[in-house]
A and B are shown apart, each in its own frame.
Chain A
Amino acid sequence: MTRTRTPGISRRSTLALMGAGAMTFAAPWVARAQAKTIKIGMPTILSGRVAQLGTSSRNAVMLEVEKVNAAGGLAGRQIEMVIRDSKGQPQEAARVARELVNTDGCELMIDAEASSGAFAVHEVARDLGVFCIHTNSETSALTADPKQHIPNAFRTARQGVHDSIVGGSYAAAIAKAKGLKKWATCSPDYAYGRDTTAEFTLYLKRFAPEVEIISESWPKLFQPDYTEVVTKILQAKPQALYSCLWGGDLTSYIDQANIYAMFGQMEVFAVNMADYTALTVVKNLPKGIHSGNRYIKTFPTTPENAAWGDAYKAKYNEYPTNWSWENATAIMLMAEASKKANSADGKKIAEALKGLTIKCPFGADGTVTMRGDDHTLVGYAIGWGTTIPQEPYVPEVKAGDWKTIFELEAEWKKSKGYT
């Protein structure tokens, strides 16, 4: 008796098909890698209180993607951005990130979330192995902590500890020159506010050991009224005040402190003041507030930076934000790494990106570098200056010294047990 094959699909081919299907679902970006256009997924915050920052991230990315596409795309493939709203919720950011890869077929990822969402997206990148650049999270641990390290994730945002070192040394120099020993702090009561304030005061006291913190205030995030906080600080009579309030909270605080004439009674250091979102909104901006640079087209004082700020304003009718330059840098780095690797493949781009230095309008010396060992951006323009009520708002910014930053950062990492 001879066995004849029955028509239809054999068990072996069914198994082969199932296997192929499973492979497709497990690594969909591999299966779609040969498509002509390359999709880049981008979860960000497009609604709620910080929608303005998410929108400015999207704008900056689109501005740069247009240039890359005009120059031929990523290794010959035109970029198509797929941008989704996470509403600022970490679980939604993770869900959107997963969907962008698995359903929309995105092969690369720009994670334009704030810190809470960025850690959630980071886990998705770890799980799926997709190439990912975190563009907005400034929390140092995201790249400093070796437990967070994965070969496919990078960060182009400034880093909290860099800001604190530069801010602390700048403030200490002024404290010494003006004899400011009694300090107060006023920062929002959540992880960013607490951590940033602690790091700032750590370096302030390191450079100026005679400084004493005599009053601390922790208003809620998005608190509408700061009157009791303002009067509490007035009672404490400090010589200087540090605050990392930001956005609408900072502008409310300034308006309310202004009518108590607080700015004439103490030196104020507000790290988030020098961002156009706050500078252009406050109607009666006091002169002489010390602030870290967030994005300002006059620092670094190069024609490239001014031209970039103006091009953004011409296209979107408003100035870029801190999140804008961080996102633009991600596309610039991605394009250069792709050129170097001559590929749009995530793994090859990741390999090429390690230690890559590119020309960039936001670099302290005209270049920025993606540091190879912890995958975070270094060499970006970082400094502090004082405000004036009209453009250019912060006429002179004192640049931070990257050599000092590297030394103290290494020390900080050691103290945290990261190295």
Chain B
Amino acid sequence: MDLDALAGCLSSSACLVTQTTSGLIIGMLLFLVAVGLTLIFGVLKVVNFSHGAFYMFGAYFAMTAYQLTGSFALAMLAGAAGTAILGLIFERVFMSRVYGADVLMQLLVCYAFVLIFDDVVRIIWGPEFKAMGMPSAFQVMPLFIAGGVVPPYYLLLIGVALVAAIVLGIGLSRSRIGKVIRAAAHNPGMVSALGINTGLIYGGVFALGGMLAGLAGALAAPVRSLTPGMGFSVLIESFIVTVIGGMGSILGALIGALLLGLIRSFGSLGFPLFTEGLMYLFMVIVLVSKPTGLFGKEAA
């Protein structure tokens, strides 16, 4: 425990800026993965344990597209679009067969695909780790804001994730499609009776969830090494986020992810040997005081 370092940081604007942005970066990437997870659970009532694989595929798709075209924008597009298509196929062909089945069956299907997807990556891209490399446009000196260090690439990353959060929030609450999705989450039988194709909605939501995780993977690819199985550690943290924020709540995922990011960045200063433990401790405190999570709704 090093509370002096933490107190010293909290009283210095340079340190506050650096650590807060560092927390935001960790949090926003985590949000993109966790929000897909929570969205799929909210509408489909399925806990998608294979969600980390979409993050992994997003990163690999982006790397390949970047190697082929040299365009960062196309790399991001390939990461997002590729995983959206993959999500749609996965939901229509496999997951749709286990709706309403035992939770254990859903878990087994998802886990089987975690292993299959990892092996597919191994076969296509090889077992060794890879790096995409930072696009030259972002190979610039970091910005110094109030003495704190902020890399420009991370500003872009936070911006993209924020836009995704806003579009998602407004889209679900204001647009017609958003309303249909929320209605399908609430009462799929009635929505179906009104002549709306619920299968299409389910597929679409899964594709959207996959796309968000894929986008997170694509955004992370320039700074994180790519390996088969890389989705696993992200998945665990995403589950912590959804449990803290409340399963099914988008705002909860955002707040949960940001809190976790800030706990990591400031925790590493004050509690260097207990940073991981702090995350779990926080989750336990939330669960004890509000078992449905910060923004979770009570079961009807």
Q: Which residues of A contact B (CB under 8 A)?
A: 47-49, 51-52, 55, 216-218, 220, 222-225, 227-232, 234-235, 247-249, 251-252, 255-256, 258-261, 277, 281-284
- Which of the four size classes fits the interface of chain B? 35 or more
Q: Is the CB of B154 within 8 A of A259?
A: yes
Q: A72 to B154, alpha carbons, bound, how many Å?
A: 60
Knowing A49-B229, A227-B265, A232-B268, say if A252 contacts B134 (CB, 8 Å).
no
List chain A residues, Cβ under 8 A from B15. 235
* A247, closest chain B residue (CB): B129
Knowing A281-B225, A284-B134, say if A261 contacts B142 (CB, 8 Å).
yes
* B222, closest chain A residue (CB): A255
List chain B residues, Cβ under 8 A from A231. 18-19, 22, 149, 265
List chain A residues, Cβ under 8 A from B149. 231, 234, 260-261
Write 16 A-B pairs (CB below 8 A) sorted by A numbering: A52-B127, A216-B272, A218-B272, A225-B26, A225-B220, A228-B268, A231-B22, A235-B18, A252-B223, A256-B223, A259-B134, A259-B138, A259-B151, A281-B128, A282-B131, A284-B133
Q: Which of B5, B18, B273: most chain A CB closer than 10 A? A: B18
Q: Is the CB of A228 within 8 A of B26?
A: yes
Residue in B154, B230, B275 whose beta carbon sits within 8 Å of that of A228 in the complex: B275
Q: Is the CB of B142 within 8 A of A259?
A: yes
Knowing A231-B19, A251-B131, A255-B222, say if A260 contacts B142 (CB, 8 Å).
yes
Q: A235 to B227, alpha carbons, bound, how many Å?
A: 30
List chain B residues, Cβ under 8 A from A259. 134, 138, 142, 151, 153-154, 223
Q: Is the CB of A220 within 8 A of B227?
A: no
Q: Which of B267, B269, B273: most chain A CB closer than 10 A? A: B269
List chain B residues, Cβ under 8 A from A247. 129
Q: Which of B194-225 contact A (CB under 8 A)?
A: 220, 222-225
Q: Is the CB of B268 within 8 A of A229?
A: yes
* B132, closest chain A residue (CB): A283
Chain A min CB distance to B162 (Å): 17
Chain B min CB distance to A225 (Å): 6
Q: A345 to B268, alpha carbons, bound, how many Å?
A: 55
* A235, closest chain B residue (CB): B15
Q: Is the CB of B131 within 8 A of A255?
A: yes
Any chain A CB within 8 A of the CB of B77? no
Query: How many residue pairs at the A-B interface have CB separations less than 8 Å?
Result: 110
Q: Is the CB of A51 within 8 A of B127?
A: yes
List chain A residues, Cβ under 8 A from B92. none
Chain A min CB distance to B12 (Å): 8
Q: A224 to B18, alpha carbons, bound, how many Å?
A: 19
Q: Which 6 A-B pairs have the closest CB atoms?
A: A283-B133, A248-B129, A248-B225, A259-B151, A52-B128, A228-B268
List chain A residues, Cβ under 8 A from B233. 222-224
Chain B min CB distance to A53 (Å): 9
Q: Is the CB of A252 within 8 A of B265?
A: no
Chain B min CB distance to A28 (Å): 33
Q: A181 to B177, alpha carbons, bound, how many Å?
A: 62
Any chain A CB within 8 A of the CB of B44? no
List chain A residues, Cβ under 8 A from B268. 217, 228-229, 232
* B263, closest chain A residue (CB): A228
Q: Is the CB of A260 within 8 A of B151?
A: yes
* B229, closest chain A residue (CB): A49
List chain A residues, Cβ under 8 A from B134. 255, 258-259, 283-284
Residue in B128, B142, B225, B229 whose beta carbon sits within 8 Å of that of A252 in the complex: B225
Chain B min CB distance to A200 (Å): 19
Residue in A220, A225, A232, A277 whose beta carbon sits within 8 Å of that of B128 in the complex: A277
Any chain A CB within 8 A of the CB of B182? no
Identify 10 new A-B residue pairs, CB closer than 8 A, beyond the known A227-B25, A255-B224, A261-B142.
Answer: A55-B127, A227-B26, A228-B26, A228-B267, A234-B149, A252-B223, A255-B225, A259-B154, A283-B131, A283-B133
Q: Is the CB of B25 within 8 A of A224?
A: no
List chain A residues, Cβ under 8 A from B265. 227-228, 231
Q: Is the CB of B22 within 8 A of A227?
A: yes
Q: A224 to B229, alpha carbons, bound, how many Å?
A: 11
List chain B residues, Cβ under 8 A from A216. 272
* B15, closest chain A residue (CB): A235
Q: A277 to B154, alpha carbons, bound, how many Å?
A: 27
Chain B min CB distance to A127 (Å): 32
List chain A residues, Cβ under 8 A from B133. 255, 283-284
List chain B residues, Cβ under 8 A from A284. 133-134, 139
Any chain A CB within 8 A of the CB of B9? yes
Q: A48 to B5, alpha carbons, bound, how many Å?
A: 38
Q: A223 to B142, alpha carbons, bound, how many Å?
A: 23
Residue in B127, B225, B269 whose beta carbon sits within 8 Å of that of A251 in the complex: B225
Q: Is the CB of B9 within 8 A of A281?
A: no
List chain A residues, Cβ under 8 A from B229. 48-49
Q: Is the CB of A252 within 8 A of B224?
A: yes
Chain B min CB distance to A59 (Å): 13
Q: Is the CB of A235 within 8 A of B142?
A: no
Q: Is the CB of A218 within 8 A of B273?
A: yes
Q: A283 to B129, alpha carbons, bound, how many Å?
A: 13
* B275, closest chain A residue (CB): A228
Q: Is the CB of A225 within 8 A of B224?
A: yes
List chain A residues, Cβ under 8 A from B267. 228
Q: Which of A225, A249, A255: most chain B CB closer than 10 A? A: A225
List chain B residues, Cβ under 8 A from A217. 268, 272
Any chain A CB within 8 A of the CB of B141? yes
Knowing A259-B151, A259-B154, say if A224 contacts B224 (CB, 8 Å).
yes
Q: A43 to B224, alpha carbons, bound, how many Å?
A: 30
Chain A min CB distance to B160 (Å): 16
Any chain A CB within 8 A of the CB of B234? yes
Q: Is the CB of A261 within 8 A of B272?
A: no
Any chain A CB within 8 A of the CB of B264? yes
Chain A min CB distance to B280 (Å): 13
Q: A223 to B220, alpha carbons, bound, how many Å?
A: 13
Q: Is the CB of A249 within 8 A of B18?
A: no
Q: Which of A220, A223, A284: most chain B CB closer than 10 A? A: A284
* A52, closest chain B residue (CB): B128
Any chain A CB within 8 A of the CB of B130? yes
